[in-house]
Chain A
Amino acid sequence: MSVDIETVKRVAKLSRIAVDDEKAERMKGELNAILGFVEQLNEVDVENVEPMTSVVMTDMKKRVDEVTDGDRAEDITVNAPASEDSFFMVPKVIE
């Protein structure tokens, strides 16, 4: 399978990464090289093979459902590019 320029742009849009035409053209070549490389996986018979979900077989750890952290709004917003009164500031998202 190989990708065309429209697909590269669509995937870039899904990834929320702006690309111009020149960049998309270059990425098309690179992505096709990688997709060409992984093509060989089609040789493998995966009939009746379970997909891996975890490399180490252990039960998922569970903890008691209780509050163990919190009241750290300042710590959480301190690295934000824009914040006010412990809120993250973003451009207007509703009309």
Chain B
Amino acid sequence: MSELTSLTIAEAREKLLAKEISAVELTESYLGAIEASNDQFNAYIRVTADQAREQAAKSDERLAKGAAGDLEGIPLGIKDLFATRDVHTQACSHILDGFKPRYESTVTSNLWDDGAVMLGKLNMDEFAMGSSNETSYYGPVVNPWRAEGSDQKLVPGGSSGGSAAAVSAHLCAGATATDTGGSIRQPAAFTGTVGVKPTYGRCSRWGTVAFASSLDQAGPIARDIRDAAILLKSMASVDPKDTTSVDLPVPDYASSIGKSVKGMKIGIPKEYRVDDMPEEIEKLWQQGIEWYRDAGAEIVDISLPHTKYALPAYYIVAPAEASSNLARYDGVRYGLRVTGDDITDMYEKTRSAGFGDEVKRRILIGTYVLSSGYYDAYYLRAQKIRTLIKQDFEKVFADGIDTILTPATPSSAFAIGDEEMAADPVKMYLNDIFTVTVNMAGLPGISVPAGLDGKGLPLGLQLIGKPFEEETLFQAGNVVEQAAGRFTPQKWW
């Protein structure tokens, strides 16, 4: 029974349609795997077993009637950032203590409409602020990957650390995630999984707890490119409830997998060759370039001159938007309340007790850069630089580049409790150096596992595409997957 959890979504779907397996069996095998090993990973913070069984039974009914949806009977994990009706939804923050929404996010609604089964809510950095999943109120997530010959616990990346770990350890068939500065692609790279950050506006943000509204975008983490394509097709939609949801039909992403990349122009941006970049990352990048050359693509050296300013500009824009979005947590309408002498004292005590240190840091930075006298120097300047970053991309795409190849992260997974990162917030922020430009420009990006480093830990390559051309990413990403193969951690649990 346990080997059912090793099936990809595409494989499970075939077996379900052929009646070789039932949705109930498939769900039970995942629930069994979660029960047996979630304690080791801390990937799920809430398991919804009863709901999963009910949904699976209904899936079997629909399968019997020949009325199966695109994801009929497929068990998924849901990041705690997505509102799920009557189920724990706290963005892994203490301030949303006890919050159970009476509504469902558009992204998860789309999944259930297509027949998917919810296994539970997945751990994440508090309010998606972090790159290691260590800021979660529910504690860190353990990466299923370990360095060769070591039993040191490693981070799965963040903020979608629970999603990436659960997919990698086969505790769900696929997972939802969100990406504001790299929160899908970095954990995917750290766990040997595929992560897609769609174009801003492709997935509705309605019912997703807001971090930085002009950057947030939902996407899937999956075991391979095809599964990621299948999930994205269901997650994406045109939603009247989100004014930034773009009015474009959702294509069948999986149909672009396997198309040749012959003649495709792949841009290699020189600015991504950063100081102190480990040799292994450089080697991996060169390897990727070779794979594309062999597949008949044209490799073109390009320049994206404002790359180095993306991360500092992000650390103005994102906290500014966060400080505004998180103003709603005041102990009045939902979540935690700590009583005080008067209402202001109640607000201050509630927010002090409810938010973790990283969230407080970002609220303070955001409030500072938006405060009177500093707005122009910080926020306005950062938004102008954002325009320049976007123009860099527009120029290379106008010159005929189809997609851009970069490393996904500057390193492989690091240890939980890494002292250097804990001591210096900026050091942690540098994890997103290759991914954050994509959010600043609103573009789609994919992280595909491409190899192992000297310690036996997975590394990823990133492809960046033109707006709403996710299909190109699946088409091109397939080249890396075909050449590098798939990556599954050695089972120690």
- Identify which of residues 20-39 in chain A touch chain B, using a CB-to-CB cut-off of 8 Å: 27, 30-31, 33-35, 37-39
Residues of B within 8 A of A12 (CB): 364
Is A38 a contact partner of B316 (Cβ separation < 8 A)?
yes
B387-A52 in contact (CB<8A): yes
- Find A46's partner among B201, B374, B388 (CB 8 Å cutoff): B388
CB closest residue in chain A, given B311: A37
For B352, give the chain A residue with the smallest CB separation: A18
Find B380's partner among A27, A37, A44, A51 (CB 8 Å cutoff): A51
User: Which of A46, A77, A78 has a CB less than 8 Å from the CB of B384?
Assistant: A46
Distance, CA A88 to CA B330, complexed state (A): 12
Contacts of B355 in A (CB 8 A): 17
Q: Pick the contact of A56 from B201, B306, B385, B425 — CB < 8 Å?
A: B201
Nearest-neighbor residue (CB-CB) of B430 within chain A: A37
Q: Is the C-beta of A5 less than 8 angstroms from some C-beta in chain B?
A: no
Instruction: Write out the residue numbers on chain B whose beta carbons fall within 8 Å of the beta carbon of A3.
Output: 368
Q: Is B99 an interface residue (CB 8 A)?
A: yes
Partner of A91, one of B101, B200, B346, B429: B346
Contact stretch, chosen from B14-22, B39-47, B336-344, B471-479: B336-344
CB contacts (< 8 Å) of B360 on chain A: these are 15, 17, 27
Choice from B244, B339, B364, B386 contacting A11 with Cβ under 8 Å: B364
Specify which of B306, B364, B383 is in contact with A52 (CB 8 Å cutoff): B383
Residues of B in contact, count (CB < 8 Å): 75
> Does residue B424 face the partner (Cβ distance < 8 Å to A)?
yes
- One of A15, A42, A56, A80 near B332 (C-beta < 8 A): A80
With A49-B384, A52-B390: A27-B361 Cβ-Cβ less than 8 Å = yes
On whether the beta carbons of A11 and B330 are closer than 8 Å, the reply is no
Could you tell me the distance between the alpha carbons of A8 and B306 in the complex, rounded to whole angstroms?
31
Q: Which of B316-355 contact A (CB under 8 A)?
A: 316, 323, 327, 330-337, 339-340, 342-349, 351-352, 355
* A residues less than 8 Å from B132 (CB atoms): none
* Alpha-carbon gap, A23 to B327, bound state (A): 20
Select one of A15, A38, A41, A44 contacting B363, CB under 8 A.
A15
User: Which residues of chain A from 39 to 80 have a CB within 8 Å of any chain B CB?
Assistant: 39-42, 44, 46, 49-56, 58, 60-61, 63, 72, 75-80
Cα A91 to Cα B347 in complex, Å, equals 11
For A37, list chain B residues within 8 Å (CB).
312, 315, 426, 429
B98 in contact with A31 (CB, 8 Å): no
CB-based contact B425/A33 at 8 Å: yes
10 additional contacts, CB 8 Å, given A17-B348, A44-B385, A82-B337? A7-B368, A15-B364, A34-B315, A37-B315, A38-B378, A42-B381, A55-B200, A55-B201, A56-B200, A56-B442
What are 29 pairs between A and B in contact, CB < 8 Å?
Answer: A3-B368, A12-B364, A13-B348, A15-B351, A16-B344, A16-B348, A17-B363, A27-B360, A35-B368, A37-B315, A37-B429, A39-B312, A41-B312, A41-B316, A41-B381, A44-B309, A46-B381, A46-B384, A49-B384, A51-B380, A54-B214, A54-B244, A56-B246, A56-B442, A61-B243, A76-B102, A78-B102, A79-B333, A80-B334
Q: Which 7 A-B pairs have the closest CB atoms?
A: A55-B442, A51-B383, A81-B337, A18-B348, A18-B352, A79-B334, A75-B102
Q: Which residues of A does B touch, CB under 8 Å? A: 1, 3, 7-8, 11-19, 27, 30-31, 33-35, 37-42, 44, 46, 49-56, 58, 60-61, 63, 72, 75-82, 88, 90-93
